[in-house]
Homo-oligomer: A and B are copies of this chain.
């Protein structure tokens, strides 16, 4: 779906659109930490926000249209609100730019397909930001499966809990827990199992933020996935883990199991008369996944400079969205749902599943 095209010269010149929490991080990383990359401009619908980030990293502020069209940018990084993703992807693709887009590509499959069709027509590379694949520990779980050391996966457990719920205003536009939060875990399940999901069952409850009930969302959820290869994946999510950002992935296969655990703030062990005490978890994704974001950029730059396809593609973004929509329907209808039930015919592409790379 996304095309690699010819290898490009370094340093690759990036422009970042959207300078909120995650856009600012990407700007900082691209400005000084990524070998082979450089940052040339930032843009934001709120110019004051863009100004502050631009000053801090020493680059120009441009209006979004100008940044996308500018001959001095090779690649566009889309960190603006989800509703703008589809349009910006299409615009950047038409401008011939390599595109990095934060997840989710869109909350609407039709919009995703329209954007991917543009990417396809333009033959530009598109990478979707599933940064957790680049976390050294989760990646090692994937590698253990891909290497065959475990045999074909039988059971996967994914725990993913945020430290605190987002503002209700955010929850209203986020598409709900399955499209906003679980989507990372749905991608992780595809990534570590290496086999597409054929059925989704979801259950959920409002335990943290009572107001969510009014907008039909939940803050506590459990999802069961059945994969084509008969692997069963269980995901548990909570919007509130007071002990920090809890992120764990575990795979059982016929030859053994591999699990990633949370890194701790430090390695100390304190023993006193009350027992043993260890450090807490990183507070949230900026602390936990900083190295995964950096490795994600290194992987994208490597794919662009070598002319390879990006490691996470538009098809991956579409597949995770489809599973999130199936989870939503499952919770609403209290039954397992096949992804095909919530799919739409993709525009002239047949909706071929992405190759999960365990080939």
- Which residues in chain A, 235-271, are within 8 Å of chain B measured between CB atoms? 236, 238, 240-244, 246, 252, 254-271
A229 to chain B, nearest CB (A): 10
Residue numbers in B under 8 Å from A140 (CB-CB) = 266, 268, 279
Closest to A220 in B: B154
Tell me if A120 is interfacial: C-beta within 8 Å of chain B. no
Cα separation A204 to B230 with both chains bound (whole Å): 9
- A259 touching B268 by the CB < 8 A rule? yes
A201 CB contacts on chain B under 8 angstroms? 201, 203, 224
Interface-located stretch among A68-76, A155-163, A177-185: A155-163
Question: Which residues of chain B come closer than 8 Å to A255, judged between CB atoms?
Answer: 242, 272-273
Chain B proximity of A259: nearest CB distance (Å): 5
- Contact yes or no, A243 B267, CB < 8 A: no
Q: Is A336 an interface residue (CB 8 A)?
A: yes
Q: Assess the B258–A269 pair: CB atoms within 8 A.
A: yes
Compute how far the CA of A244 lies from the CA of B220 in the bound complex, rounded to whole angstroms: 31
A320 close to B (CB within 8 Å): no
CA of A137 to CA of B266 in the docked complex: distance in angstroms?
A: 5
Interface residues of A in 138-170 (CB under 8 A from B): 140-141, 144, 149, 152, 154-155, 157, 159, 161
* A273 touching B207, Cβ below 8 Å: no
Show 26 residue pairs from A and B whose CB-CB distance is below 8 angstroms, ordered by the A residue.
A32-B33, A137-B266, A137-B267, A144-B270, A154-B220, A155-B236, A157-B159, A161-B252, A201-B201, A206-B230, A222-B224, A234-B236, A236-B252, A242-B255, A243-B256, A243-B257, A243-B271, A256-B270, A258-B269, A260-B267, A264-B276, A273-B280, A275-B277, A275-B278, A276-B278, A334-B335
| B residues less than 8 Å from A47 (CB atoms) | none
- The number of times this chain is found in the oligomer is 4
A208 CB–B CB distance under 8 Å: yes
Give the residues from 194 to 216 in chain A that come closer than 8 angstroms, CB to CB, to chain B. Answer: 199, 201, 203-208
Give the Cβ gap from A75 to chain B, nearest Cβ, in Å: 20
CB of A154 within 8 A of CB of B205, answer yes
Q: Is the CB of B222 within 8 A of A203?
A: no
Q: How far is it, in angstroms, between the C-alpha of A336 and the C-alpha of B255 when the chains are bound?
A: 32
Q: Is the CB of A260 within 8 A of B256?
A: no
A246 to B155, CA, bound (A): 13
Contact of B236 with A256 in the complex, beta carbons under 8 Å: no
A136 at the interface (CB under 8 A from B): yes
Chain B hits for A232, CB < 8 A? 203-205, 220-222, 236
Complex contact A273–B256 (CB within 8 A): yes
For the complex of A and B, the 10 pairs showing the least CB-CB separation, nearest first, are A256-B272, A243-B271, A32-B32, A276-B278, A261-B267, A137-B266, A275-B280, A136-B266, A137-B267, A205-B230
A208 touches B161 (CB 8 A): no
Q: Are B254 and A260 in contact (CB under 8 A)?
A: no
Known interface pairs A243-B272, A264-B276; 10 further A-B residue pairs with C-beta atoms within 8 A, sorted by A's residue number: A140-B279, A141-B268, A149-B272, A154-B205, A155-B220, A207-B254, A243-B271, A271-B280, A273-B280, A276-B278
Quick one: which of B136, B224, B256, B263 contacts A242, CB cutoff 8 A? B256
A226 at the interface (CB under 8 A from B): yes
With A266-B140, A267-B137 in contact, do A234 and B222 touch (Cβ < 8 Å)? yes
In the complex, chain B residues whose CB is within 8 Å of the CB of A32: 32-33
Whether a CB of chain B sits under 8 angstroms from the CB of A46 is no
